[in-house]
Amino acid sequence: MVIRETGAYDLREIMDVQQAAFGSEEEARLTADLLEDESAFPQLSLLAYDDEQAIGHVLFTAAGCTGSDCSAMLLAPLGVIGQRQLQGVGAALVTRGIEILRDSGTDLICVLGSPGYYHRFGFRSAYTAGIAAPYPIEEDLADAWMYLALNPDHLPTGPCTFRCARSLMDPKLWRE
């Protein structure tokens, strides 16, 4: 498997992966919107290939926390085509993204996803750290809002609200 950063010429493959991974065009359209959304820059977009076929994609987009100057990113979406799920492709994409962002000086990554999946990378409940999601998350899903401190010395010092790209500022997107 090869993982590489994407460029504008990769949009069709990215959309194909996201559509295959989620079974609808909705996630693919959101991904395309984020890739074009200037408020999502800087961003990190990675594609995984096997035998020259795109099999997975992850996107990290610029974000921040109110009242803090910490450098933050949002991990969304992560997609792997159906026949390659549960084979480590997603984990490899997330791990590589974390490495690149740590090396680039990013302080914090947040994600709305499965705690059982993301805990393996070190993600923990964002609410217990005082980091609120841009929109309220149902109480029974609160643990799905998570953060990973890449630079623990430069995190928000008090309660804050996470801010992200305009394309993600829709309350419907903040339900797991």
Q: pLDDT tens digit string along 87-127?
A: 899 999 999 999 999 999 999 999 999 999 999 999 999 99
User: By C-alpha distance, which of 138, 100, 144 is closest to 123?
Assistant: 144
pLDDT bracket for residue 176 (50, 70, 90): low
Write down the pTM of the prediction. Answer: 0.94
Euclidean distance between CA atoms 20 and 144, whole angstroms: 23
- The structural domain count of the chain equals 1
Of the ranges 5-9, 93-97, 131-135, which is most confident? 93-97
Tell me the three state secondary structure of residue 79.
strand
Dihedral sign computed on CA atoms, order 17, 145, 73, 88: negative
- Look up the domain containing 37 and give its range: 2-174
Specify which residues 147 forms β-bridges with.
110, 124
Q: pLDDT tens digit string along 34-50?
A: 999 999 999 999 999 99
Could you tell me which residue, 138 or 16, shows the higher pLDDT?
A: 16
Given the structure tokens 């693919």, which residue do they identify?
28
CATH of the domain at 158: 3.40.630.30
User: One-letter amino acid identity for 27?
Assistant: E
Per-residue exposure over 18-42, b if at least 16 CB sit within 10 Å of its own CB, e if not? bbbbbeeeebbebbbebbebeebee
Is residue 91 within 8 A of residue 55, CB to CB? The reply is: no
Q: What is the pLDDT of residue 87?
A: 87
User: One-letter amino acid identity for 126?
Assistant: A
- Give the mean pLDDT of the chain: 92
Q: pLDDT tens digit string along 45-80?
A: 999 999 889 999 999 999 999 888 899 999 999 999
Query: Does position 147 have pLDDT exceeding 90, yes or no?
Result: yes
